[in-house]
Structures are given as C-alpha cells and as structure tokens.
Amino acid sequence: MPKVKLISYTPNPVKTVAAAAKLCYSSSDVDTLLDNLTDEKAENFVEMLREIGHESPIEHISFTFAIEGVSRSLLAQITRHRIASYSVQSQRYVKENSFEYVVPPEIEAVPKAKKLFIETMDKIQDAYDELSKMLSEKHYNTMLEMGMEEKEAKKAAEKKGIEDARFVLPNACCTKMIVTMNARSLINFFNHRCCNRAQWEIREIADMMLMEVKKAAYPIFKDAGPKCLKNACPEGKMTCGKINEVREKYKNL
C-alpha cells in the first residue's frame, strides 16, 4: 500500500503568500509587511491572487513529503516534474532482500495474471540474490589479492555486487523517496497527475498529496486538482468523458 506523509512545510504558508502579494501591491516595507495581516486578510490576498491569475507569490512556500510503497515506474514519472527536489532510496547501496513490489490492479483482478506476476517476481528475486552472490565473491577475491583486510573486503565487495545485480530488478520494485515542491509546482503537478488520463499509481499518490496540503494550507489549494475543475477538459478526443464525476470528487476531497 502506498503511503504519503507531509513531513514539513513553510510555517504560516497562507500569511507568507499574502505578505508577498502585499509587497507587490502596497507601499509596505519589510518592517510593516505583517502589520494588521490577520488570517482573514491573508486569505483575501490569496483569493485575489487566484482571481487575477498572479501565481508567483505562491512559489515562496514549499512542502516536503515522505512517500513509500510506490514503484520504480512511478519514480520515472514523478521526476519528470523538474521544479522539485528528490531524495530516493538507493538500490546501489541498499540491498533488496525479499524486495517488495507493486501489483497493478488490472493484474490483481485476473487470478492467472496475478499468479504469473508473482512467480516472475520470485524468479527475479532469485536471480538478483544469485547475481549479488556471484559478483560479491568475484570482488571479494579481487580485493583480497589487492591486500585489503578480510572484514573490509567483505563489506566493500557486497556493495559492489549489488551495484550491478540491481539491473535485473523490475519496474514493479518498491522504492521510498522524499519530495519537495513549491506550491506553484504542486498545483501544476495536480493539474496533470490528478487527471483521469494520468497513470493510476501516480494519480493515487497525487490525490494523497493533495489531501495533505489541503490540511496545511487550504486557501492555497482549495481549487487544486485536474484542469477540468475550472475549465473545459483540455484533453480533446482523449477526454475521459467524466467531468461531472471528477468535479464532484475533488469538491469533496
């Protein structure tokens, strides 16, 4: 099961955005910027930004998520969002003993397909273990010949072994990551990844991330989600045709 946790974010996010907006549209200086900036006034500033389409002030707040139970396939998709920071558990340094994996729902729904999928994952685990062992032994012997102490050689050889053995691991293999995005990048992320045309796994993660940031800064993200929430579906002939259902879903998210 995927898990998303908002582990940190800019303190007072709504007021921070409002302060940035206030500086743009008033004569306030840095010493008086927060004077009389109540929660109500801060939310009004944010609403004004939304109405006029002024998005740059929301770049001043960022949100950091811990994500686990997702596939390497999802990793390849989420890192396409380049205005963000990522830290990912390394398969080069962390050995995949009995690696966990994601089973796609369409495979889960077909018993024969699920059986074949699991059998394949088991075979890959066996191959990974065997490759790790073979390569580690090779590196261990080489390091001993070079004069390295046994204990040090064993530790270094194992890491060298898994470095190349990881090439056999599948896209389904689970990974963990820390992701940080500013609010403007997050809204763009939600525009694309909450859409029904997004791949099911990243759409699920996007929804979970959206729920987290709504708790932290609702006025910033209250209208966030796929593009069709506020306008006509931009997908043309590729539309899912479920715009009313989608709008109802994100109204209640």
Query: For the CA atoms of 18, 19, 23, 29, what is the dihedral angle to 10 degrees?
Result: 160
Question: Which is catalytic among the residues 184, 193, 197, 203?
Answer: 193
**193 in catalytic set:** yes
The full DSSP string for 2-37 is -EEEEEEE-SSHHHHHHHHHHHHHS---TTTTTTT-
Pair of tokens at residue 181: 């995005």
Residue with tokens 């820390």: 178
Buried b (16+ CB within 10 A) or exposed e, 113-123: eeeebeeebee
Alpha helices, DSSP H only, in 88-224?
105-108, 111-145, 150-165, 183-193, 200-221
List 8's β-bridge partners, or say none: 64
In angstroms, how far is the first alpha carbon of the chain from the final one? 20
**CB-CB contact of 2 with 208 (8 Å):** yes
For residue 25, give the amino acid letter: Y
Residues taking part in catalysis: 193
